[in-house]
Amino acid sequence: MKKIRALRFPLLTVVLCFTISTTSNAQEGSFSCSIYQDTLLIGNYMVVEYVAENLSGDYVAPDFTDLNVISGPNMSTSMQFINGKTTQTIRYSYYIKPETTGTYFIPPAYYYNGEESFETEPLEFEVIENPEGIITQPKQKNEGFNSDFFDFSFPKFNFEYEAPRSDSKPNKKEKESDSKRKLKKI
């Protein structure tokens, strides 16, 4: 019982120091929107990403009435401790696919944390004709370990397999001759 009481004070001290250090290193919050291409070929889709950094509160999604949302909102969170500074990041991403050519606007999103409200700027991109029917992967910013320093590009493989077709059915004698082994004397 004495060992448990002896460990209580150092443990509480460590927890208290950690709490004080993380609250004293709090940084300004920010909320932004990004797209990684400003021109898109019709028939392709793009990624729209809203990033809230060092904020906690309520996210109000944008109104994508003119755009076809394939997927979203997809949310991911991360927390970093670097040199005593804590950074918390929440990402909301949408995969959108415009149906017609023209100029489109990415609407603003809002983030409320009780004290302040944050709004992103609307972004503009253009959708152009795609006469050759080119389909590309959407461009995205690489984060973390897969950054500009490391390039982990892997080739894409086509794993489609089509079984050979045979219009004629083999007769019974051909099947038997294929299944029997032929032995040779040496």
> What CA–CA distances, in Å, run from 74 to 43, 47, 84, 93, 112?
22, 11, 29, 5, 19
| Nearest alpha-carbon partner for 125 in 142, 143, 139 | 139
Say if 44 falls within a structural domain: yes
| Percent of the chain scoring above 70 in pLDDT | 61
Say if 49 falls within a structural domain: yes
Length of the chain measured in residues: 186
> Are 125 and 44 spatial neighbours (Cβ–Cβ below 8 Å)?
no
pTM of the model as a whole: 0.61
What's the average model confidence in pLDDT over 62-68? 86
pLDDT band at 74 (very low <50, low <70, confident <90, very high): very high
Would you state the pLDDT for residue 9? Answer: 47
Would you state the pLDDT for residue 54? Answer: 92
Q: Tell me, what CATH number does 49's domain have? A: 2.60.40.10
Would you state the pLDDT for residue 72? Answer: 81
Say if 176 falls within a structural domain: no
Look up residue 180 and give its amino acid: K
> Are 93 and 70 spatial neighbours (Cβ–Cβ below 8 Å)?
no
Say if 7 falls within a structural domain: no
pLDDT band at 179 (very low <50, low <70, confident <90, very high): low
> Are 55 and 113 spatial neighbours (Cβ–Cβ below 8 Å)?
yes
Is the pLDDT score of 176 beyond 90?
no
pLDDT band at 22 (very low <50, low <70, confident <90, very high): very low
What's the average model confidence in pLDDT over 165-183? 58
DSSP per residue over 68-123, as a string?
EEEEEEEEEEEEEEETTEEEEEEEEEEEEE-SSSEEEEEPP-EEE-SS-EEEPPPE
Say if 94 falls within a structural domain: yes
Would you state the pLDDT for residue 162? Answer: 59
- Do you find a cis peptide bond into 164, omega within 30 degrees of 0? no
Sheet strand arrangement including 117-119: 58-60, 110-112, 117-119
Say if 133 falls within a structural domain: no
Please tell me the distance from the alpha carbon of residue 34 to that of residue 72, in angstroms, as a whole number. Answer: 15
24-38, 45-59, 143-157: which is most confident: 45-59
Say if 134 falls within a structural domain: no
Say if 65 falls within a structural domain: yes
Number of folded domains in the chain? Answer: 1
Please tell me the distance from the alpha carbon of residue 76 to that of residue 138, in angstroms, as a whole number. Answer: 18
Pair type for strands 110-112 and 30-35 = unpaired
Would you state the pLDDT for residue 93? Answer: 93
Give the structural domain span for 49. 29-128
What's the average model confidence in pLDDT over 157-181? 56
Q: Read off the tokens for 181.
A: 């082994």
pLDDT band at 132 (very low <50, low <70, confident <90, very high): confident
Is the pLDDT score of 17 beyond 80?
no
